[in-house]
Structure 1
Amino acid sequence: MTQPLPDTPGFQQAAAKVKTFPTSPGVYLMKDVAGVVIYVGKAKNLRSRAGSYFLKAAAEDMRTADWIGEIADIDFLETDSEVDALLTESRLIKDIQPRHNKDLKDDKTFPYLMITTREEFPRVEVTREPKQKGVKLYGPFTSAGALRGAIQVMQRIFKFRTCSLDISESDERWNWFRPCLLASIQQCTAPCNFRISKEDYRRDIRRLQTFLEGGRTKLLKEMTQEMQSASKNLDFERAAVLRDEIRMLERLDERGELDTHAQPEVFYIDPKKGLAGLRKVLHLSETPRVIEGVDIAHLGGGQTVASLVQFIDGLPFKPGYRRFRIKDVSGIDDFRSIYEVVSRRFRKLSNDGETFPDILLIDGGKGQLNSAMAAFRDQEITPPTVISLAKRDEEIFRPGESEPIRLSKSAFALRLLQYVRDESHRFAQHYHHILRSKATLDDR
Structure 2
Amino acid sequence: MADPKSYRPASGDIPVNPGVYRFRDEVGRVIYVGKAKVLRQRLNSYFANPAGLTPKTHAMVHTAVSVEWTVVGSELEALQLEYTWIKEYNPRFNIVFRDDKSYPYLAVTLGEKYPRAQVMRGDKRKGTKYFGPFYPAKAIRETLDTLLRVFPVRSCSAGVFNRAQSSGRPCLLGYIDKCAAPCVGRISPEDHKKLAMDLCQFMGGESTKFIKELEGKMAESVSTLEYEQAARYRDDIAALRRVFERNAVVLAENTEADIFAVHEDELEAAVQVFHVRNGRIRGQRGWVVEKVEDSTPEQFIEHLLTQVYGEAAGDDRIPREVLVPVLPENTADVTAWLHERRGSAVSLRVAMRGDKATLAETVRENAEQSLRLHKSRRAGDLTTRSASLLELQESLGLPSPLLRIECYDASHTQGTNVVASMVVFEDGLPKKSDYRKFSITGDAARDDTASMYDVISRRFKNYLEESENMVPMVSGEIDISDAAAKAPARRFAYPPSLVIVDGGPPQVAAASRALADLGIDDIYVVGLAKRLEELWLPDDEFPVILPRASHALYLVQRVRDEAHRFAITFHRKKRSASMTLSVLDSVPGLGPAKREALHKHFGSVKKMRAASTEELLAVPGIGPALAQNLATALAASGSGAPAVNMTTGEVLD
Q: TM-score, normalised by structure 2?
A: 0.33
Structure having the larger proportion of residues in helix: 2
TM-score normalised to structure 1 length = 0.46
Between the two structures, name the one with larger relative contact order (CA 8 Å, sep ≥ 6). Answer: 1
